[in-house]
Amino acid sequence: MRALVKTQAGPGLELRDVPEPQPGPADVKIRVLRAGLCGTDLHLEQWDDWAASTVAPPMTIGHEFYGEVVEVGADVSGVLVGQRASGEGHIVCGTCRNCRAGRRHLCIHTRGIGVNRDGAFADFVVIPASNVWVQPPELDPDLAAVFDPLGNATHTALSFPMAGEDVVITGAGPIGVMATALARHVGARHVVVTDVSGYRLELAKNAGADLVVDASASTLAEAMRSLGMKEGFDVGLEMSGVPSAVEDMLTNMNHGGRVAMLGLPKDRFSVDWGRVITHMITIKGIYGREMYDTWYAMSSMLGSSALLRERIASVITHRFPADRWQEAFAAARSGQCGKVVMDWS
């Protein structure tokens, strides 16, 4: 079968023929139809310090996908051949304290599909049946392929109640834009999105933002004045990993404001902890998806709203056949894109 493989330590990937993976008794084999490109995949292609310390080549990469179930293990129930499915990319141990307590997203032994074991940039992928998320057959394949990042957005956006609240989102990458659509869907009063990319700010505006802010030319304080806001933001979603964006957000949070942080910074940076303490700001770190409450939430919301489906799908701006993977990666690296999806059918 075809697979996009990190063949050795160092920059680059290779599309090559590899043996088809075979499912074990508790596994499911899926024929990949669509796969989404993630920042993690760019790190693996470029082979930065994180990739070098995490991945042991050779490794088929990719963890955002949608496809057709073609084989199930002897011990599998609840997943049937012929069903369409996405997959949760984090495989947990099932025996640590958090797993046994039902907090699987906090597993201390998590292994990543396409990072610690062969992934989904291939004609077929094998994952544990417990990681399979069966999709309704009428769901658009491209949309189903981005359930992993949509799950990140949903986990972040639903961390705190939003109905009637003033929300600021720093970072208009694909996950930030998805979070914009979700904030609007669940009833936020004002949704303000900041970034320095005009292209991505336009995506956020189309996804339902009331106001988009070019952080290189304006501030959140000015945004608040233009909206007639008398107090600070109630909820902040940090999607950028940029220290100046975090600083501007914390400066403009209301007393008692709540901040969910998903964006990963490249380096450590200082925080005005005096403001956090005296303004009684709650900060929550977010990683991945809650297994599997987040999956239920995003499936239910998408199933109930054509407008939300349209807004989430609008984040997908580029589509390439798998054999043009170099173009797909170039588009994702350019920043002049939303979500990039590859067609493996």
Token couple for 187:
């009833």
pLDDT for the residue 335: 87
* CATH code 3.90.180.10 for 2-146+315-343: yes
How far, in Å, are 114, 154, 230, 258, 283 from residue 253 at the CA level? 37, 21, 12, 8, 11
Q: What is the mean pLDDT of residues 37-62?
A: 94
Question: Peptide bond preceding 128: is omega within 30 degrees of 0, i.e. cis?
Answer: no
Task: Answer positive or negative: Cα dihedral of 50, 35, 149, 129.
Answer: negative
Calpha distance 99→160 (Å, rounded):
23
Whole-model pTM: value is: 0.94
> Where do the domains of the chain lie?
2-146+315-343, 153-285
Q: Name residues whose C-beta falls within 8 Å of residue 278's C-beta, 6 or more positions apart in sequence.
A: none
43 labelled catalytic: yes
pLDDT digit string, tens, across residues 282-309: 999 999 999 999 999 999 999 999 999 9
Q: Which of 79, 57, 58, 55 is nearest to 69 (CA)?
A: 79
Calpha distance 229→250 (Å, rounded):
16
Angle (CA) 268 269 275, round 5°: 140
Calpha distance 203→14 (Å, rounded):
32
pLDDT digit string, tens, across residues 126-166: 999 999 999 999 999 999 999 999 999 999 999 999 999 99
Q: Do domains 2-146+315-343 and 153-285 have the same CATH topology?
A: no
pLDDT digit string, tens, across residues 229-274: 999 999 999 999 999 999 999 999 999 999 999 999 988 999 999 9
Q: Name residues whose C-beta falls within 8 Å of residue 97's C-beta, 6 or more positions apart in sequence.
A: none
Virtual CA dihedral for 31, 36, 42, 47, nearest 10 degrees? -20
40 labelled catalytic: yes
- Of the listed 7, 40, 109, 194, which one is catalytic? 40
**In terms of CATH, what superfamily is 153-285?**
NAD(P)-binding Rossmann-like Domain (3.40.50.720)
Angle (CA) 92 98 104, round 5°: 40
Site of tokens 């084989």: 71
- Of the listed 43, 105, 155, 185, which one is catalytic? 43
